Every structure is written in C-alpha cells, then in structure tokens.
Amino acid sequence: MGIESLSIELDNSDGIYFPGQEVSGVVHISNLSSKILKGIYLECQGYAKFCFNELSSETYYSSEETYLDLKIPLITNEERERFELVSGIHQFPFSFILPTKIPSSFQTEMLAKFGYGHVRYSIKVVLKRSSRQINSETCRIPFTGVLKPSWKQNYEYVISFTVRTIVDLNAIPKAAMPTQSIKAKPVFRWLCCRSGLITVKVYLHRTGYVAGETILLHADVDNQSQTTLLGSTVSLIESVDFHTHNKSKTYERVLFEQKRRGSEFLDALQVFPIVVPSVTPSYLQFCEIIDISYKVEFRLVDSEALASKLVVPLDILIGNVPLRQQMNPTYNSVAETYQ
C-alpha cells in the first residue's frame, strides 16, 4: 500500500488573505505502510494569465505575470537520495508571507470561443518519489479524495486560496463625487422629417460603491418628439481589458439588468436600485496585463423612429472599503438637482 490520504489544511478556514499577510497551515499525510521518498515540499504560486483569439482569424494572444513562486521544503535529505516515511499519520506545519504588492484573485466567465483569463493563487504539496526513472509527468490529487498514483509518479495535492487587495474608496477622491451624463438624439420620421428631440439625463449621487451597497441610478427622459417610447433598460456591466505588447481585447458581461416597459414609466424621473454584487474591485491593482472597470448603463428600448439605440453610460468604482458617512439621497432631493 502507498499513501492513503494527503491533504492541506489552512489555519484560516475561509482561505481568504490580504497582501502582506501570513499564510499558515498543516499538511496531513496518512500511509498504511512505509514509503521511500526523496523529499516533501510545497510549491506556492500566484500568477495572472490569459489567452484569447480574434474570431476572424486563428491567431492567439496570451500573456502571463508571476507574483508568487516559492518552494518550501518540509522534509529533505541532502546527504542521501531517499528517506523512509514510516507508516502512520504525519503532520507538517508550514507558513509563508504573501508579498505586499499582489493583485486580487480574479476569474473571468468567458465564452469558449473567446478564451480565458484569471489571477490565481495555490499551494501544492509534493511527495517526491525516489526512483531515478520518475516520469516528468505528475499526478494531481483532486481537492477531495485520495491519490492512487501509478508507478513512477509523484504524489501531489493542490488547494487554491483567495487574495483580496484593499481598495479603499476613501483614498480615491472621485469615489465620493456625484457623476452624471446627458445625451440627446434627434428623431426622424420617413428618413428625412425630424419629429423632435429625445434627451436623457442620468445621475448618480456618488461614484464609488462596495459589494452589498445599493446604487440609485436616476434617469430623466425628456421626450419632445412625436415618438411613443416603449420603455427602458438599466444594466450594471463589468469590463475586462486584456493587454499584450501588441494587442488588447475587451470582454464585457452583464452583472445586473432591469427592464421597465410602457410609456408611463418614462413620464417622470425614474429611480433604479442596483445592489452591487460581490466582484473583484476596480482596476485589479498590481496587475499589468488585466484591467477591470465597471459602468452602469441606461438605454431606451428601440422603437421604429429611433435609427439606433440611445445609450447613456456612467463609469463607477467598486472597492472593498466603503466611503465613510455616506447616505443615499431621497428621491425628492435628487429630483431637485434637475429643477
């Protein structure tokens, strides 16, 4: 019999850490019989990586950054090529310090044809077998269960952990500032006859938010045309930019969407509440190849008179330390800003 079980237990049970924090835990090994090994060590890694292709071609673009690359010996035998791990239950404590300037963990949800992108951190324990003929290909244990490696393979077990880089909105001046945008569009009938102007004002009382807070998006539609509008849609959108030395690509996904239908919804100032989900903060600080931004978007539903959509976006910031003493304004107080 070989290794019965192999696992890594972190002292921090939720597996969430901040840059500069100590990561500590215990490696658990259970073997029913003695095992001859060459060494036991940890590989601690953190990196960003992405790959995408242009749909119009077969050219692929990729890039990678490394933030953490440690090899920590738990048992080594420098005098001899091998040692005996006697049968029983073994525990090997470990600890290491995360660098102070590393990005938050991040995972995209991309279409298969687009590619992938992520920032990942992991700890892998390796029980290196003593045979000089060990194949370079190793066998990884799933996050749960026991590895039963075939001959000439190392024993490995991998877990991931999460890094959360602090993004304090109080340190970003524009986070507390209001923001608004105004767009107008002439409406034509019969291709040449102008029937009037549609103007949309969109307003936020501040720019910065954290997960769990409610964004109050205020939209005022002034329809001076003869067109009957069908309704409106509000969205919260995440934009991810991937950068190589000669190519960039943007991937967007909708985090939230709310639709209102019927012209009665467009007769007065509208207020759209949007609860901020748990997402990676803006910028993805300390990552040079991936950038993250967020925006809310108000758009009028297409009608026959509109040659194209009337879309009004507003950029926002998402952090993980909230603004101090922030209160959402009432409906009436915001309405007064337009009077």
Say yes or no: 73 and 219 in one domain. Answer: no
255 pLDDT more than 90: yes
For residue 32, the number of C-alpha atoms closer than 13 Å in the C-beta half-sphere is 5
pLDDT of residue 143: 37
Last residue of a domain, one of 131, 163, 195: 163
Helix, strand, coil tally for the chain in percent (to 5) = 5, 55, 40
Within this chain, do residues 134 and 16 fall inside the same structural domain, yes or no? Answer: yes
| Claim to verify: residue 67 and residue 189 sit in the same structural domain | no
Same domain, 131 and 211: no
Do residues 49 and 109 share a domain? yes
Type of residue found at 152: K
Average pLDDT over residues 320-324: 95
Per the model's pLDDT, the better-predicted residue between 272 and 185 turns out to be: 272
Question: Looking at residue 228, which CATH number applies to its domain?
Answer: 2.60.40.640
Q: How confident is the model at residue 197 (pLDDT cuts 50, 70, 90)?
A: confident
Quote the pLDDT of residue 110: 63
* Mean pLDDT of the residues in the chain: 84
pLDDT confidence of residue 193: 62
Q: Is residue 304's pLDDT more than 70?
A: no
Q: Which residues are 253's β-sheet partners? A: 238
Residues 52 and 38 in one domain: yes
Do 22 and 153 lie in one domain? The reply is yes
Question: Which residue type occupies 123?
Answer: I
Q: How many domains are there within the chain?
A: 2
Of 113, 143, 163, the last residue of a domain is 163
The Cα–Cα gap between 155 and 243 comes to 36
Task: Dump pLDDT digits (tens) for 203-218.
Answer: 999 999 999 999 999 9
Whether 215 and 150 share a structural domain:
no
- Residues 333, 222 contacting (CB under 8 angstroms): no
Q: Answer with the one of 163, 185, 212 that is the final residue of a domain.
A: 163
**Do 78 and 225 lie in a common domain?**
no
Shared domain check, 194 and 268: yes
Residues of the chain above pLDDT 70, percent = 78
Residue 15 has a pLDDT of: 96
Considering the domain architecture, whether residues 240 and 319 belong to the same structural domain is answered as yes
Choice among 64-68, 176-180, 187-191, 260-264 with the minimum mean pLDDT: 187-191
Beta strand 214-223 pairing with 270-275: antiparallel
Task: Report whether pLDDT(57) > 60.
Answer: yes
Residue 334: DSSP 8-state: H
Distance (Å, rounded) from C-alpha 218 to C-alpha 222?
13
Phi/psi at 261 (nearest 5 deg)? -120, 150
The answer to whether residues 144 and 206 belong to one domain is no
- Name the least confident of 58-67, 230-239, 294-303: 294-303
Number of Cβ within a 10 Å radius of residue 242: 24
CA 17 from centre of chain: 15
Q: Read off the pTM.
A: 0.82
Highest mean pLDDT, choosing among 144-153, 283-292, 304-313: 283-292
Domain around 108: 3-163
